[in-house]
Chain A
Amino acid sequence: MINDFEHFTPKTLKEALALLAKYGDDCKVICGGQSLLILMRQGLVSPKYIVDIKGISELSYIKDDKDGVKIGATTTHRAVEKSAVIKKKYPVLAEMETRLASVQTRNWGTIGGNVCHGDPAGDPVPVLIALNATLTVAGARGTRSIPVENFSLDYFEVDLKDGELLAEITIPPPPPRTGAVYTKFNIIESDLATVSVAASVTLGAGDGVCQDVRIALGAVAPTAIRAKKAEKVLKGKKITDALLKEAGEVAATETEPISDIYASEEYRLELVKALVPRMTKEALARAKKA
């Protein structure tokens, strides 16, 4: 049973922020509701006030400018998936979206809502970490920027203070010779990840050396994480299968997975060891072609 609540439908960001400032802790922001409604039905969350930002059209956009691509927080997954700009510049983001739940969910759910939900098994965050994205958070006193990898704090907890709202996701232009990939391991195709891996590899000009690499993991810690030690194994080197294997082993040490009904802790570690090399190798292949 969902408890009674008051429902607001602001039409502008300003109106929304005013409502958030007014109701503070008793209030929850909803957009697509694909995550929040489940928690409310289970009685895990019972807000007194709901600020529904679905109608704020100024937050729904995909813009391409010199700083990169900017995605408004209320942009639906489906819009991201189908965007020509995204497909061209960050095909990995569109590919990730095709594996996120079902078309029905993607038609209604939003990328901003997903990021703010803070589920460590969510699909977009590892990809956004690999792509080095930044979030713009709006509050009554203006906006602030935060790298996406610092945004998730704990299980279902993100760095949003009372009265704040995620407004925009900015993805910097991909460096030349960069390839990025994402996969998730799950039992049912359209399901949440048991373990997910996003990797981005940038090669040096002409030398085939790994100039930069970003590896992000989902569902193996309280938040999506960046496997920095594993990145170090590869950075500045010519990537070999042996190095990739080592990167996988190292990445596993950076995680703190749990055992649950879907997979044991040990199995999740083994999946990290298998998938990090596999996905990084795929990113490398893409970088070579880029």
Chain B
Amino acid sequence: MSDYSVIGKRVHNIDGTEKVTGSGKYTFDVVLPNMLYGKILRSPHPHAKILKIDTRRAKRLVGVKAVVTGKDTLGRKQGIWRRFPELCDEEILCRAKVRYIGDAVAAVAAIDEDTAEEALDLIDVEYEPLPAVFDPMDAIKEDAPQIHEGVELNININRHIEWGDVDEAFEKCDHIREDKFKCSSQAHVCMETHDAVASFGHNGKLEVWTSSQSSYYIQRLYADMLDMNESDIRVTNRHTGGGFGSKFELDSAQFCAAILSQKLCQPVKIVLTREEEFTATKRRTPMYYFLKLGAKKDGTMLAKEVRVITEGGAYTAMGATALYLTGFFSSFPYKYPNYRYDGYRVYTNTATTSAMRGFGAPQSTFVGESQIDMMAEDLGIDPVEIRRKNGMTPNYEVPGQAFIQSCGLHQCLDKIEEHIEKRGKLPPNHGIGVSAYGFMSGGIFNWFNTPYAFSAAVVRINIDGKVDVYTGTCDMGQGSNTTLAMICAEELGVRLEDVRMFSGDTGICPPDLGAWGSRQTLMGGNAVKMAAAECKQQLIEFTAAKMGVNIVYDLDIKDRWVHLVDRPERGVSYFDIVKEAIRGKDGVAIMGRGHYTPHRKGMISPAYSFGVQAAEVEVDPETGRYKLVNVTTAHESGTVINPVGIEGQLEGAIMMAGGYGFCEDQPMDEGKILNPSIADYKLIRSLDMPETDILEIDTYEPEGPFGAKEAGEGLTNPTAGAIGNAVYKAVGVRIYDLPITPEKVFKALKEKEKQQKKAKK
């Protein structure tokens, strides 16, 4: 693989300079002539009927240009599971009922933000509060208030996954464990809050600049909600200040800005405040987990049974996918011959839970990896060994579900074992916990019901040899534009600086499902590679004809040199060939098209990445406070396109997943989130970051571009489990509910002390 000239090189993000100098323009920076500013009025009640909305006083305020409510909409409900109309359940601007504190009821456009905000206070909404329910375990009771009409027991959706004969297999087990866990919520906390500038013109067309992970989804959902043609809507995202799963559904900023702009034929900008971002956007799904795991004495795990009840919040959103994926990834990364999953997503009067980096897998990995350590201890087997014994291997079929081609799990386990040995004998109250995981490289499911290819790209070579890539993929800061430019440059035989990316603009880019489920490198990358290959083929054909090359020779392009593969010194400059080829084509630029849709790759994903993480903690037994000392990850993601990108993903993931394990939470009182600010929502910061190390394992994924696959999202999965296992190793207490706060550790230590005293007596 060493003959790559671009791939595998350490490069900075191609938009890095713009971003660090502040010249990069985000939606937040967009200002248009005659632009108005919008604000959204939100429900203070967790569950209430809207009896009346009187906007007259607000409309009279000087500077207010429009006030809209649900009556100004078509009354449609949106949802990203478009194949299932009953799961499209969110009006965005509520007409008759609000279902959580933060549900939008009206929006104002005014000459500035202050006026708009002042106007919100002048909108009189008459509510009839209804009984509300906040915990899914309460919401499934017979007498619980019904949140959506006709939805019995508030069960939004249920999923079942099964293979083998689980009941029979448990009979054969030497040891069975049953454990309960609870996973907490988590906010995405993007640097850029949700925002949009919507401009509806007298030409009947809508242009929207927005911070988004999928311009195509936003465009399509707009078309549904506004009853417009998709092609009359242009959604652009130039830079996006973070997404992490929060930005590929139509949100209140986008929808309200468009409704207001339609009314006024003037551009309207809405930027959610940080408080709205915490309370009125979506978040990670809290889950109750019930696990049953059976093994033979030698550690062979024969059966696993998983039951999950999730806190859905007010609407479906992407929660249905999280429910499915947490069930699928509960079997990861092991070869359970018998497996059964039943998951229920339950509506509650809380902020909707949906997609967030890891998408159900951080939850399943925390609970699964905690339990497997307990099983190992019960059986007297080393934690690495039990994972080795049961871990997935290349070319493994998850029965009826998925086919795994490349898999470096065992190499990762070996590396982590070496790492643990190297750490030697640990000081008192230190412990190293291990956690293994896997993740997908893009989803195969199409509940969105797109008729388009999942990914598509157009590559155009200009007269000066510079290459333009057009793709609907979205760079939300994860570096996909850099990755895709590298793939294009490698395939075409040019340098990275020769490639310019045009992405996430539905006006000029072919549709792509966007940046979620770790799909951009594999799916977007395959599309770009195919388009670049088509361009390259044209150049090679032209060169072969021009040079009069003997038919037995192959031509290739490397580092801007079009040459004979077997005699690389015989060749011509890429730039010269481009000029001549375009002239030869009657002045038409060289263009190539590429697309990718997974076929015959199972039900989940075309490829999976794997890894094993070891977290070392130091616990203060007097206070329960612990420090993350070191987090080392053995990681395989197929061919590494950009090592710098992977390091960034790893560090970011440890910050995010470490926070999930250690401190991040969204405590509520009667549905009200109590910490809706950066000051009160505890995030790991630079000073809290542990020493991190990455041990990259070499694998090659046949389905991926140049052998690449998922590289960043899966890294969010292992850390909470590794921390839990490390705390147990350090001081012998097991925490069953996230986050693993010092207070919980302290209480568990006290309880353990009490039990030990009792035992002595």
Contacts and interface: CB of A to CB of B under 8 A. Distances in A.
B677 to A, nearest CB: 8
Contacts of A190: 685, 687
B542 interface: no
B273 to A, nearest CB: 9
Contact of A264 (B687, B688, B743): B743
B114 A1 contact: yes
A270 B684 contact: no
Contacts of A40: none
Query: Chain B binding site: helix, strand, loop or mixed by DSSP?
Result: loop
Given A187-B663, A189-B687, A264-B743, A274 B682 contact: no
Given A1-B114, A1-B117, A188-B684, A263 B743 contact: yes
Contact of A188 (B118, B622, B623, B683): B683
Contacts of A1: 113-114, 117-118
Contact of B741 (A185, A187, A274, A278): A187
B680 interface: yes
A210 B113 CA distance: 61
Interface string A158-190: 000000000000000000000000000101111
Nearest to A188: B682
Given A185-B623, A185-B625, A187-B742, A261 B684 contact: no
Interface in B97-120: 113-114, 117-118
Contacts of B663: 187-188
Contacts of B117: 1
A278 B622 CA distance: 10
Query: Chain A binding site: helix, strand, loop or mixed by DSSP?
Result: loop
Nearest to A262: B682
Contacts of A140: none
Nearest to B750: A270
Contacts of A187: 662-663, 682, 741-742
Contacts of B741: 187
Interface string B674-695: 1100011011110110000000
A275 interface: yes
A274 B687 contact: no
A38 B677 CA distance: 11
B568 interface: no
B625 A189 contact: no
A16 to B, nearest CB: 29
Contacts of B662: 187
B723 to A, nearest CB: 14
A188 B625 contact: no
Given A187-B741, A190-B687, A267-B746, A38 B679 contact: yes
A271 interface: yes
A256 interface: no
A269 to B, nearest CB: 11
B667 interface: yes
Contacts of B747: 267
A177 B622 CA distance: 29
A27 to B, nearest CB: 22
A261 B679 contact: no
Contacts of B683: 188
Contacts of A263: 743
A173 B507 CA distance: 72
Contacts of B113: 1
A26 interface: no
A39 to B, nearest CB: 11
Given A1-B114, A261-B674, A275-B623, A270 B746 contact: yes
Nearest to A260: B674
Interface of B: 113-114, 117-118, 622-623, 625, 662-663, 667, 674-675, 679-680, 682-685, 687-688, 741-743, 746-747
19 contacts: A1-B114, A1-B117, A38-B679, A187-B662, A187-B741, A188-B682, A188-B683, A188-B684, A188-B685, A188-B688, A189-B685, A189-B687, A189-B688, A263-B743, A264-B743, A270-B623, A270-B746, A271-B623, A274-B622
Interface of A: 1, 38, 185, 187-191, 261-264, 267, 270-271, 274-275, 278
Task: Rank and list the top 3 A-B pairs by shortest CB-CB distance, nearest first.
Answer: A189-B687, A274-B622, A267-B743
